[in-house]
Amino acid sequence: MNLTKKLSLASLLFVSSAVMAHGPVTPQSIDTSTIPAIGEEWVDENPYRELAGDVKAEIDRVGASAYNQNCARCHGLDAISGGIAPDLRELPADYDGDEWYIYRVQNGAVRNGAVYMPKMTEHLNQEALWAIRSWIETRAEQM
């Protein structure tokens, strides 16, 4: 193989692994059996925010994984926005922030029939979505 071919093959491999790093395109369901159950009825505030210790560590682990599989491709790896969609670390970790978070994950963002963000509650349960929010809040603290 000549050098040019090698180089273009290398860049191809680089591109495809970069795409994979942003996670699959279809939303992935998440196993939330290891974190506290919340139930079907949506609560209006992040129920995991005040937790600590091992329980909180597991919530953040599940949240990070769920985020990377379902949100990172638009909102950025490690919750750092690359500009395609808002940086979620900037959403305040309080009641108002929760209200807006719930609105968006339930309704997505659809304008003139174009889906800018899918309705995440169709793919993820409440536990997974609050775990994501809790993990993002820990990322915001490190900003």
Rounded to whole angstroms, the Cα distance separating 134 from 137 reads: 5
Does 140 engage in binding with ligand HEC (CB under 6 A)?
Answer: no
Binder among 30, 79, 131, 132 for ligand HEC (CB under 6 A): 132
User: Please, which residue, 77 or 109, has the CB nearer to ligand HEC?
Assistant: 109
Which two three-digit tokens encode residue 134?
């809790």
3-class secondary structure, 1: coil
* Beta-strand runs (E) in the chain: 109-111, 114-117
Measured CA distances, 108 to 114, 119, 123, 143 (Å):
11, 4, 12, 26
Does 85 engage in binding with ligand HEC (CB under 6 A)?
Answer: yes
Residues between 54 and 73 with contacts to ligand HEC, criterion CB under 6 A:
70-71, 73
Does 30 engage in binding with ligand HEC (CB under 6 A)?
Answer: no
Element (H, E) at 72: helix 72-75
| In the complex, minimum distance from the CB of residue 1 to ligand HEC, in angstroms, rounded to a whole number | 37
Does 22 engage in binding with ligand HEC (CB under 6 A)?
Answer: no
**CA 111 to chain CA mean position, Å:** 21
Does 105 engage in binding with ligand HEC (CB under 6 A)?
Answer: yes
Give the position of tokens 């994984």: 65
Does 86 engage in binding with ligand HEC (CB under 6 A)?
Answer: yes
- Contact footprint for ligand HEC (CB under 6 A): 70-71, 73-75, 85-86, 88, 91, 101, 104-105, 109, 116-117, 120, 124, 132
